[in-house]
Structure 1
Amino acid sequence: MEDMINLILQFGDLNKQQIDFLLSKVKMLELKKDDYLSEAGKVPRYVAFVLEGVFRFCYYNNKGEEITNYFVDEGNFVVDNEKFESQIVASEYVQAVTNCKVLVFNKKDWDDISNTIVGWDMTKANMVKKCLMLAMERRGSLVSEDATTRYLSFIEAFPNLTNRIPLSYVASYLGITQQSLSRIRKNIR
C-alpha cells in the first residue's frame, strides 16, 4: 500500500487523515493468469493498483485477431479510465498476463474519495495525464520504426517484461508475427 500512496503523492498532497481515508476504501484482489480485470462488453468495475503481476489491454480486430494494445506492471494503476469514469461498456479487455495481486477501488468508493478529499480530482487528472503521455510515447515508436527498432524500444520501455510474458503478446503489441519476433531476438543476441 505504501507504493500506491507514494505514487499518488507524486501528483498531489494528502495529509495523514486523507491517506487513512483513501486506504479505508481499498480492497485486495487476486487474479489468476488469464483472468480479466475488465472485459469488453461490460462496464469496468475497478481502478486497480498493481502490487504483483502484469496486465495487458487487448481487443479483437474485424478479422477476429487478438491485438495487444498495452502492458501495465507493478507500481502502476490499471483501469480503462474513460469507460470506468463514465460507467459505460468497455471495448477492450484488461487481462492478467501473470498471476496478479492488486489493490482495487470500486466506482462508489472512488467517487467517495473524490467527494471527500479536497483536490483529489486534480490529483487524479494529473495521474491520468501522466499515464496517457507515457502510453503515447511508448506507442509512438510503433508507428514509425522498423520491427527491430520497435522491439528494442519495447525492451527499453518495459525492461522487466520480456521474460515474464508470452512472445505472442509481445509480437501482437509490436504489430509483427511471432516468427519475425523470434528472428529479431535471435539476431540481436
Structure 2
Amino acid sequence: MILSYIQSFKIFSDKEIEDFAQLIETRKLLKNEYFVQENDSCKEIAFVQNGIFRTFYTTADGKDITYCFRFPNEFVASYSSFISGKPSKETIQAIADADIFVLNKDKVEALFHENPRWILFLKIIAEQEYMELEERYFQLQRNNASQRYEKLLKNQPNFVQQIPLQYLATYLGITQRHLSRLRKDISF
C-alpha cells in the first residue's frame, strides 16, 4: 500500500503520512482503460496497488511501441507532461484490471509549500526514475532481446505471463514470432 511505501523512506512522521492519506483518491481502472492518453495533459500521478500498466507511443505509421511497464508498488504518470503541463507524448494503459492511488498536481504542489520533506521525497523518486530510465537505455544498447527478456522475467516473474505478446514484443524490440521462440528457449 502507498502509505507503507512512503513510510519505508523514514522521512515523515505518522501524522504527516495520515495527512497525506486524506489527499489521495482511490480509483479502479479496468483492463484496456487509459490513465492518460497521448496529447492530453497529465495532471495526476498514481501509485499502483495492483494491476499492470504499459506506456507506449504511436509511430507515424500507426504502430504502438511499448517502452515501459509499471507493476504494483510503482508510480505511474506521464512525467514530462505532469511537470511541464504540456500535452503527453505517450499513452498509459491498464493491461490488467488495476487499483491505483491518485494524487492530482495541485495537491502535490500544495505539499511542497507546506512541508519541504515532500520535496526531498519527490527528489528521491525522481532519482529512482532517472536510474531506471538510464538502465533501460543501457539495456537497449548493450543487451540482446533474450537478455532483456530474462531480466524482465527475473524482476517480475509473477506478471510477465499476464502481458500480451504484442506489447512484450515491442518492449523487447522484436517480433512476436521471435518472442515465441525466446519463450520456448527460456524457462524460469
Fold agreement, TM-score > 0.5: yes
**Equivalent residue, structure 2, for 1:112:** 110
Contact 1:141 1:153 in 2 (8 A): no
Per the alignment, in what secondary structure is the counterpart of residue 44 of structure 1? coil
Letter in 2 for 1:107: K
Residue 118 and residue 188 in structure 1: after superposition, are their counterparts in 2 closer, same or farther (change >3 A)?
A: closer
- Answering whether residue 79 of structure 2 is matched by residue 78 of structure 1, we say no
Off by >4 Å, runs of 4+ in structure 1: none
Instruction: After TM superposition, list the pairs within 5 Å mapping 1:43-122 onto structure 2.
Output: 43-122=41-120
Deviations 1:52-74 (A, max 9, x none): 10011100122221100100110
Contact 1:138 1:157 in 2 (8 A): no
Distance of 2:128 and 2:143 partners within structure 1: 23
**Post-superposition offset of 1:12:** 5.3
Contact 1:50 1:78 in 2 (8 A): yes
Distance of 2:105 and 2:32 partners within structure 1: 23
Larger displacement relative to structure 2 (161-170 or 146-155): 146-155
**Post-superposition offset of 1:18:** 1.2
Letter in 2 for 1:95: Q
**Post-superposition offset of 1:146:** 2.2
Q: 2:40 aligns with which of 36, 42, 65?
A: 42
**Post-superposition offset of 1:16:** 2.1
**Post-superposition offset of 1:82:** 2.3
Give the % identical residues. Answer: 29
Residue 144 and residue 158 in structure 1: after superposition, are their counterparts in 2 closer, same or farther (change >3 A)?
A: same
Contact 1:47 1:105 in 2 (8 A): yes
**Equivalent residue, structure 2, for 1:26:** 24
Distance of 2:56 and 2:104 partners within structure 1: 22
**Equivalent residue, structure 2, for 1:134:** 132
Contact 1:48 1:103 in 2 (8 A): yes
Contact 2:55 2:67 in 1 (8 A): yes
Distance of 1:11 and 1:87 partners within structure 2: 28
Residue 9 and residue 82 in structure 1: after superposition, are their counterparts in 2 closer, same or farther (change >3 A)?
A: farther
**Post-superposition offset of 1:21:** 1.5
Give me the TM-score of the superposition, normalised by structure 2: 0.92
Letter in 2 for 1:146: N
Contact 2:54 2:95 in 1 (8 A): yes
Letter in 2 for 1:8: I
Letter in 2 for 1:178: Q
**Post-superposition offset of 1:149:** 1.9
Deviations 1:15-70 (A, max 9, x none): 12211221110010111111110111010121101011001110012222110010
Larger displacement relative to structure 2 (123-132 or 51-60): 123-132
Distance of 1:13 and 1:145 partners within structure 2: 37
**Post-superposition offset of 1:110:** 1.4
